[in-house]
Amino acid sequence: MSQFGEIYRDEDVDISVLHGKTIAIIGYGSQGKAQGKSLRDSGINVIVGVGDRTVHNSWKDAEADGFAVYDIEEAVKQADIVHILLQDPAQPAVYYSSIHAHLRPGQTLSFAHGFAILYGTIKPPKDVDVILFVPNGPGPVVRRKFKEGSGIYGAVAVDQDASGHAAATALAIAKGVGSTRVGTIKLSFQHETEGDNFEEQVLYGGAIQLMRSIYKVMTDNGYPASFAYAKAVRSIRSIIDDIDEVGVEEYLTRRASRTCEFAVRTSGPRVINEDAIQQIFEETEKGIFARNWLNEFNLGMPTLNRMRRTWADSDMERTGKLFRDKFGMS
């Protein structure tokens, strides 16, 4: 078996390394809200740093949630741990305008994705710790699980260990957000970042393209749109939880029909182009995906804006809205 990865649970992690420390959450969006509130509920002193209040509205959310909110510069000055939860391509400009010059030796710079560090768009000074903690899920789910007394599987990584205890800090943050309740592993910045970017391209990109292709081929061939939509999108809900719960083989041989098992084993591999997946992996490892995304972002996202317009107006989206209205989420 491939190397599984060492698992850290609550009993392995000492959260008291964060006591008496201040964590500044920089950016109060999906992850900022979830991690900020959960760390506070875990007894940690949390403040929030936001960008220009005439442009960035999230300071209102942070104040409404009871946090002391500061300009990013001031939050960095007050913090022991600067936890950067801004969207990734925006991080370098904010870092160099409002964070870099205010960092002190002994502080910790923390991220939820290794993108800016791995690709060198942020180069921190040598006398701070550089760590990462990422829960494997979107902010609202992270927060809901925390409140239920559970958590989301997580990962920590250390890129720079100036203090000698950078990993302990990262694991303590993971514990404060609930991720060591279910298990957290140690990764490298490279594996976290490129693994995430690879998954987004291949798993999310591939699955969504598959849904679109199924919908198109079925409707092009005269099937009712509601039925094509159910086959393209809704069906995946019924199998994914089962597969996660019992494994692929148990699902195929015991829960699926024999016809389904035959279909999966014989036609499934023909749908997937493994050469393309390998090529995407290599492009990701060469930084080509990162370069393309940074270019796109810096140009004002022309490709994303254009594709959003096409797809928001597509037959499949209109069918999806009607499908949810008529059939609900069951």
**Residues of the shown chain interacting with ligand NDP in the complex, contacts defined by CB under 6 A:** 27-32, 51, 56-58, 85-88, 90, 94, 112-113, 134, 138-139
Tell me whether residue 196 or residue 261 sits nearer to Mg ion (CB atom).
Answer: 196
| Partner interacting with residue 31 (select from ligand NDP, Mg ion, none; CB below 5-8 Å by kind) | ligand NDP
* Spatial separation of the C-alpha atoms in residues 285 and 273, rounded to whole Å: 19
- For the question of residue 113 being annotated catalytic, the response is yes
95, 101, 105, 108 alpha-carbon torsion, rounded to 10°: -20
| Partner interacting with residue 90 (select from ligand NDP, Mg ion, none; CB below 5-8 Å by kind) | ligand NDP
Tell me whether residue 196 or residue 296 sits nearer to Mg ion (CB atom).
Answer: 196
- State in angstroms the smallest separation of the CB of 90 from ligand NDP: 4
- State in angstroms the smallest separation of the CB of 119 from ligand NDP: 13
Residue closest to ligand NDP (Cβ)? 29
Other CB atoms within 10 Å distance of the CB of residue 192: 24
- State in angstroms the smallest separation of the CB of 38 from Mg ion: 19
Q: What angle do CA 207, 225, 228 make, to 5 degrees?
A: 40
| Partner interacting with residue 190 (select from Mg ion, ligand NDP, none; CB below 5-8 Å by kind) | none
Q: Is 300 left (phi over 0), alpha (psi -120 to 50) or beta?
A: left
State the residue for tokens 């509130």.
37
**Tokens coding 105:** 């030796």
- Which residues neighbour 236 within 8 Å (Cβ) at sequence distance 6 or greater? 207, 211
- State in angstroms the smallest separation of the CB of 105 from ligand NDP: 25
- Which residues neighbour 88 within 8 Å (Cβ) at sequence distance 6 or greater? 113, 115, 116
Phi and psi, residue 314, nearest 5°: -85, 160
Tell me whether residue 112 or residue 166 sits nearer to ligand NDP (CB atom).
Answer: 112
**Tokens coding 308:** 């959003």
Tell me whether residue 84 or residue 172 sits nearer to ligand NDP (CB atom).
Answer: 84
The residue ranges that bind Mg ion (CB under 5 A) are 196
* Spatial separation of the C-alpha atoms in residues 195 and 200, rounded to whole Å: 9
Residue closest to Mg ion (Cβ)? 196
The 8-class DSSP code of residue 24 comes to E
| Partner interacting with residue 5 (select from ligand NDP, Mg ion, none; CB below 5-8 Å by kind) | none
Tell me whether residue 142 or residue 218 sits nearer to ligand NDP (CB atom).
Answer: 142
| Partner interacting with residue 287 (select from Mg ion, ligand NDP, none; CB below 5-8 Å by kind) | none
- State in angstroms the smallest separation of the CB of 112 from Mg ion: 9
Q: Which of 100, 102, 113, 165 is catalytic?
A: 113
- Which residues neighbour 199 within 8 Å (Cβ) at sequence distance 6 or greater? none
| Partner interacting with residue 173 (select from ligand NDP, Mg ion, none; CB below 5-8 Å by kind) | none
Query: Is beta strand 81-84 parallel, antiparallel or unpaired with respect to 154-160?
Result: unpaired
Other CB atoms within 10 Å distance of the CB of residue 51: 19
Q: Would you list the DSSP string of 263-296?
A: HHHHHHHHH--HHHHHHHHHHHHTTHHHHHHHHH
Tell me whether residue 196 or residue 242 sits nearer to Mg ion (CB atom).
Answer: 196
- State in angstroms the smallest separation of the CB of 92 from ligand NDP: 10
- State in angstroms the smallest separation of the CB of 113 from ligand NDP: 3
Tell me whether residue 112 or residue 316 sits nearer to ligand NDP (CB atom).
Answer: 112
Catalytically active residues, by annotation: 113
